[in-house]
C-alpha cells in the first residue's frame, strides 16, 4: 500500500465520472433548457478519432460545442462519440475522457479544467482538478465567447 492517498487521481476519476454521467443523460434525454457544453480535448491523444482535415486544422487541441445541432451521441465507460456539423459537413468524433482538458456549461457557469504539470505526459492527467471558467471560456478556437462569472469553490466552504 502507498504511503500517500493520491487525491489528484481520485478527483480526476470523479470529475470524469461526472462528465460521463452528464453526457449519458443528454444522450438519453437531450439537452435540458439552455444547457450546452464547450469541451476542449487533446487531439494528439492516441485514442482520439477525428477526420484528418480536423486534425490538420487542430493539431494540438480542439474545442467542440454541443448545443444546437449534434447527432449520434454515444457514451461509453472510456469516452464518447458524437456527430457534429462543420460548415454543413457532418463529422463523427470519438473523444476519450482522458483527452479532455476542459468541460464547461456556461448556461449555469460551471466548468472543469483538468491540469497537467510540466513533468506529466498529456495522457497522465494526474494533477488536481480546478474550476476556472474565465480561462476555459477564452478558447482561441471559439468565435463567440459567452459572458460568465468566475465560480470559486471558496464561497461554498465553511
What CATH number is given to the structural domain containing 139?
2.30.30.220
119 confidence band (pLDDT: 50, 70, 90): very low
Q: Please check whether residue 36 lies inside any domain of the structure.
A: yes
Cβ 66 vs Cβ 73: under 8 Å: yes
146 confidence band (pLDDT: 50, 70, 90): very low
Count of domains forming the chain = 1
β 110-114/129-130 pair status: antiparallel
Choice between 40 and 130, residue whose per-residue pLDDT is larger: 40
Q: Please check whether residue 114 lies inside any domain of the structure.
A: yes
1 confidence band (pLDDT: 50, 70, 90): low
User: Measured on CA atoms in the order 62, 67, 72, 73, is the torsion positive or negative?
Assistant: positive
Predicted pLDDT at 43: 95
Average pLDDT of the chain to the nearest whole number: 79
Q: Please check whether residue 40 lies inside any domain of the structure.
A: yes
87 confidence band (pLDDT: 50, 70, 90): confident
User: Which range marks the domain in which residue 60 is found?
Assistant: 7-125+134-146
Of 30-44, 48-62, 74-88, 131-145, the range with the lowest mean pLDDT is 131-145
Q: Please check whether residue 29 lies inside any domain of the structure.
A: yes
Distances (CA, A) of 56 to 23, 44, 61, 82, 90: 27, 11, 11, 19, 17
Amino acid at each position: 500500500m502507498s504511503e500517500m492517498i493520491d487525491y489528484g487521481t481520485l478527483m480526476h476519476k470523479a470529475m470524469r465520472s461526472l462528465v460521463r454521467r452528464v453526457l449519458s443523460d443528454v444522450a438519453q434525454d437531450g439537452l435540458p433548457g439552455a444547457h450546452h457544453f464547450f469541451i476542449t480535448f487533446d487531439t494528439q491523444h492516441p485514442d482520439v478519432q477525428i477526420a484528418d482535415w480536423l486534425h490538420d486544422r487542430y493539431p494540438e487541441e480542439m474545442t467542440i460545442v454541443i448545443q444546437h445541432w449534434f447527432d449520434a451521441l454515444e457514451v461509453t465507460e472510456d469516452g464518447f462519440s458524437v456527430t457534429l456539423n462543420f460548415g454543413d459537413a457532418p463529422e463523427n468524433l470519438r473523444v476519450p475522457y482522458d483527452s479532455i482538458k476542459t468541460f464547461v456549461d456556461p448556461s449555469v457557469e460551471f466548468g472543469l479544467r483538468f491540469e497537467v504539470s510540466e513533468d506529466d505526459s498529456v495522457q497522465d492527467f494526474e494533477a488536481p482538478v480546478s474550476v476556472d471558467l474565465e480561462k476555459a471560456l477564452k478558447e482561441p478556437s471559439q468565435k463567440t465567447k459567452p459572458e460568465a462569472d468566475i465560480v470559486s469553490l471558496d464561497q461554498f466552504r465553511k
